[in-house]
Every structure is written in structure tokens, then in C-alpha cells.
């Protein structure tokens, strides 16, 4: 049978191809398919069903049209209704006089009062598989024709490809989300396991000390427990910092005083740890900086701790400040004469939970540092040479227009 296609229909097909290919979410694809189908077909309502791969049920996605907008979303059993029939047979169907067709007659929808008079239903299929069906209801000016059917099939063909693309895209995003969650959970479990192990060992020593009435042992055990408590607190702060974007709480900050304080903390070493000298080289011309004091403290403390930790055979960590030159940026340079890193390690530095320190590290310090520095509109620069040492430079704008505005 020959079917005439009008220029208007060809334009509609080109339009729909462009619209649906521009969308990557299933909902957006469905909406645009349905609105074009309804406009070009001049019908009262339209809806789209996809087959649930697991249950075989038909999932109703959207209906458009004055009355159909109020029809509730439905889930239908396989084979149910005209859509079920079309999905089962894979063949399109036109019913132009629903009232006198006992097979497809349905009572008006109770809530909306919508009454079906005529139906055009075509399968939604890609060359590989059947995805569902499009149903167009109540042609306004007369019966559905073979030409409507041909147009609807062309629309359905394009829609099916776009929907399949959208589904694949969503599956891919879901996979990426699941992989990211999996990695986070694994990293976090590892940290918590280390903390628990430390608490267990400390508690054992406390118990033993009490039994033996050996206060030295109790003291040692208690120190171990409270250290793990601090570690846990740090971990929670780091996780909170990473959990969402934050606006720095700007205040006038004396970076020289802050760095001096941090050098003092960094130089405190425990018994048995290699001795590391921490040098402070302040620039006396460094002006006050508009920065989040607490945030900067976290960043610099982490960089200095890392620098000291890197000096596994002893060595020197140096913290220097630099007043702005023409670029209006201040710099804090943290360098060490420690183990240095190869390129592979440098590339992993900002991956959360990446740590080479076993139970002593969380692998969150550098991701947190980078985030805070970037939230200040700054940069974290790295230069490292394996076996020689590492230099981290925090580059910060001295002033924040947004803050003072």
C-alpha cells in the first residue's frame, strides 16, 4: 500500500530526530517524543510504555493532552490491554471505534473522565530488541489513517534508538556511581579497621596494666587509645570537608604566625622516630591574607606532616612564605629532603584514600588540602624527585573581592 507523506510530517520527523538525539535522560526523551507525536498526529493524548526487563511488566511513563495529563501512572501486566497485545505480537494496531469493539473497550477513567474513542499503537523497537510501545489516543479530526501509522512507526524507530542510548547512558552512570561508592566504602573500612585495631591494642594494655597495678603500662595503653581517638576525629573532619563544596570563612590571616605555629607542631617527634629538623623561613614583607584561618591550618599542617613523614631517615623540612609579586598571589612553600616520589605516585596523590603509610595514614590529607586551597581560588603546585625530596607550593590570592563586596 502506498502511503503519502506530507512536507509537514517530514519536518516533524527531522525535528524529532534532532530533539531526541539532544537528550540523554530517558524522561527528557520521552517528553519530547510524546509532544511531537501528539502535535503532528493531532490527537488528544499519547503515552509511552517500556517493558521492564526483569518482570515483563509494562511501565507507563508519560501522557500528554488536556485530560490525559491527570491519568495516574500505571504498571500493567505482560499482555494486558492493547499495549500489552502490541508488545506481545510486535505488530502495530489501529482501532478507530473503541466503543463498538468489545476487545478493546475500556470504561472512562474515573478520576479524569478521559474516554478513549480511537487508538493507534505501535511497537518501540531497535534492530536488536523490543523496548515497549507508543500509544496515541483520540485522533481529533477523523479516524487514524495508514499515513498516521507510517509516521508513528518512523517516530517510534527514532525514539527507540534514543531511549536505548539514554538507558545505556544511565546504566553507565549507575555503574560509575556504584564503583565510586565501592571504592569509598573499601577505603573507609580500611581506615576504621586500623583505628579499631589500635583501640583494641591500647585497651588490652590498659587492662593488663590495671591487673598488674602497673601505671606505666596503663598510661601507655591510654595514650594509644587517645591517639586513635584523635585520628578518628581527623578522619571525620576530612570526610566532612570532602562531602560538599564549602565557601571559605574569610578573615584577615597572618600566615607567618600560622606557619610558625605549625612548624612547632611538626617538629615534635615521638620516641623512636627519626629526627627531622623543621626550618621556618618567613618573608618579613608578607601582608595579611584574606583566608579561612582554620582551613589554612588544616592544609599547612597536613603538608608539613607529610614532609616530616617523608624524611624516613631523618632530614629537613622547610616552610617558607613569599609576599606577592606582580601577580598579587602569596605563596607558602613546604619542601623536604625526604624520599621524594616517582611520577606514578604523584599522579595518585589526590585520589581519596591513597596512602603509602599503612595504619598511620588515611590518604585524605592531600585531597582535603587541594579542595580547601581551590575553594580559596588558589592552586596547589607539586615538584618531586624520587630519592631527593618534594616541594608543595600553596598559591593563594592575597585579597578576595567577593568577601569584601
Footprint on residues 248-307 left by ligand ADP (CB under 6 A): 302, 306-307
Q: Among 365, 378, 389, 397, indicate the residue that binds Mg ion (CB under 5 A).
A: 365
Q: How many residues does the chain have?
A: 405
Q: Does 104 bind ligand ADP (CB under 6 A)?
A: no
Cell of 325: 609579586
Cell of 315: 632530614
* 3-state class (DSSP) for residue 51: strand
Q: Does 308 bind ligand ADP (CB under 6 A)?
A: no
Task: Choose the binding region for ligand ADP from 28-36, 140-148, 275-283, 338-346 (rule: CB under 6 A).
Answer: 338-346
Sheet harboring 119-125: ordered strands across? 75-76, 58-64, 43-51, 130-139, 119-125, 93-95
Nearer to ligand ADP (CB atom), residue 237 or residue 354: 354
- Partners of residue 330 on adjacent β-strands: 396
Q: Does 367 bind Mg ion (CB under 5 A)?
A: no
In whole angstroms, give the CA distance from residue 206 to residue 214: 9
Mask: binding to Mg ion, 34-73, rule CB under 5 A, as x and -?
----------------------------------------
Footprint on residues 355-384 left by ligand ADP (CB under 6 A): 355-357, 361-366
Task: Choose the binding region for Mg ion from 122-130, 210-218, 303-311, 331-339 (rule: CB under 5 A).
Answer: 303-311
Nearer to ligand ADP (CB atom), residue 214 or residue 234: 234
In whole angstroms, give the CA distance from residue 79 to residue 217: 75
Nearer to ligand ADP (CB atom), residue 89 or residue 347: 347
In whole angstroms, give the CA distance from residue 244 to residue 250: 18
Residue with grid cell 487508538, as numbered in its chain: 119
In whole angstroms, give the CA distance from residue 40 to residue 46: 12
Q: Does 221 bind ligand ADP (CB under 6 A)?
A: no
List the single partner that 338 binds among Mg ion, ligand ADP, none, CB under 5 to 8 Å by kind: ligand ADP
In whole angstroms, give the CA distance from residue 284 to residue 355: 35
Residue 363 CB, shortest distance to ligand ADP, in Å, is 4
Number of residues that bind ligand ADP (CB under 6 A): 20
Nearer to Mg ion (CB atom), residue 126 or residue 267: 267
Nearer to ligand ADP (CB atom), residue 322 or residue 349: 349
Residue with grid cell 523496548, as numbered in its chain: 131
Q: Is the distance from CB of 221 to CB of 211 less than 8 angstroms?
A: no
User: What is the DSSP pairing of strand 329-336 with strand 315-322?
Assistant: antiparallel
The phi and psi torsions of 292 (rounded to 5 degrees) equal -85, 105
Q: Does 339 bind ligand ADP (CB under 6 A)?
A: yes
In whole angstroms, give the CA distance from residue 328 to residue 267: 31
Q: Among 104, 237, 354, 403, indicate the residue that binds ligand ADP (CB under 6 A).
A: 354
Task: Choose the binding region for Mg ion from 78-86, 176-184, 210-218, 296-304 (rule: CB under 5 A).
Answer: 296-304
Region of 377 (left: φ > 0; alpha: ψ -120 to 50; beta: rest) is: left
Q: Is the distance from CB of 382 to CB of 389 less than 8 angstroms?
A: no
In whole angstroms, give the CA distance from residue 65 to residue 45: 4
Q: Does 363 bind Mg ion (CB under 5 A)?
A: no
Mask: binding to Mg ion, 254-293, rule CB under 5 A, as x and -?
----------------------------------------
Interface residues with Mg ion (CB under 5 A) are: 302, 306, 365
Residues that bind ligand ADP (CB under 6 A): 302, 306-307, 310, 336, 338-339, 341, 349, 354-357, 361-366, 390
Amino acid at each position: 500500500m502506498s502511503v503519502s507523506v506530507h512536507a509537514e510530517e517530514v519536518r516533524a520527523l527531522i525535528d524529532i530526530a534532532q530533539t531526541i538525539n539532544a537528550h540523554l535522560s530517558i524522561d527528557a526523551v520521552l517528553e519530547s517524543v510524546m509532544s511531537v507525536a501528539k502535535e503532528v498526529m493531532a490527537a488528544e493524548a499519547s503515552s509511552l510504555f517500556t517493558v521492564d526487563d526483569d518482570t515483563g511488566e509494562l511501565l507507563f511513563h508519560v501522557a500528554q493532552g488536556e485530560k490525559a495529563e491527570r491519568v495516574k501512572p500505571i504498571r500493567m501486566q505482560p499482555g494486558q490491554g492493547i499495549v500489552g497485545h502490541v508488545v506481545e505480537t510486535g505488530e502495530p494496531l489501529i482501532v478507530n471505534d473503541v466503543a463498538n469493539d468489545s476487545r478493546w473497550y475500556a470504561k472512562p477513567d474515573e478520576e479524569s473522565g478521559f474516554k478513549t474513542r480511537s487508538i493507534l499503537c505501535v511497537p518501540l523497537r531497535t534492530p536488536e530488541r523490543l523496548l515497549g510501545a507508543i500509544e496515541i489516543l483520540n485522533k481529533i479530526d477523523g479516524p487514524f489513517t495508514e499515513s498516521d501509522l507510517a509516521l508513528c512507526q518512523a517516530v517510534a524507530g527514532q525514539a527507540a534508538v534514543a531511549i536505548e542510548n539514554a538507558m545505556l547512558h544511565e546504566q553507565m552512570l549507575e555503574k560509575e556511581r556504584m564503583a565510586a561508592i565501592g571504592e569509598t566504602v573499601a577505603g573507609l573500612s580500611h581506615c576504621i579497621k586500623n583505628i579499631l585495631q589500635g583501640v583494641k591494642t591500647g585497651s588490652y594494655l590498659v587492662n593488663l596494666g590495671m591487673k598488674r597495678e602497673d601505671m606505666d603500662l596503663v598510661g601507655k595503653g591510654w595514650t594509644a587509645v587517645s591517639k586513635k581517638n584523635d585520628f578518628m576525629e581527623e578522619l571525620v573532619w576530612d570526610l566532612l570537608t570532602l562531602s560538599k563544596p564549602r565557601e571559605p570563612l574569610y578573615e584577615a590571616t597572618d600566615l607567618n604566625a600560622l606557619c610558625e605555629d605549625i612548624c612547632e607542631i611538626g617538629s615534635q617527634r615521638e620516641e623512636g622516630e627519626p629526627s627531622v629538623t623543621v626550618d621556618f623561613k618567613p618573608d618579613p614583607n608578607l601582608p595579611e591574607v584574606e583566608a579561612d584561618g582554620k582551613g589554612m591550618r588544616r592544609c599547612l599542617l597536613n603538608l608539613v606532616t607529610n614532609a616530616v613523614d617523608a624524611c624516613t631517615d631523618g632530614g629537613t623540612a622547610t616552610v617558607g612564605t613569599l609576599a606577592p609579586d606582580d601577580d598579587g598571589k602569596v605563596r607558602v612553600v613546604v619542601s623536604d629532603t625526604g624520599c621524594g616520589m616517582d611520577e606514578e605516585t604523584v599522579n595518585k596523590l589526590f585520589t581519596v584514600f591513597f596512602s603509602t603509610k599503612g595504619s598511620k595514614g588515611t590518604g585524605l590529607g592531600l585531597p582535603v588540602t587541594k579542595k580547601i586551597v581551590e575553594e580559596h581560588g588558589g592552586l596547589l603546585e607539586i615538584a618531586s624527585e624520587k630519592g631527593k625530596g618534594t616541594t608543595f607550593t600553596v598559591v593563594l590570592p592575597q585579597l578576595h573581592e567577593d568577601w569584601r563586596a
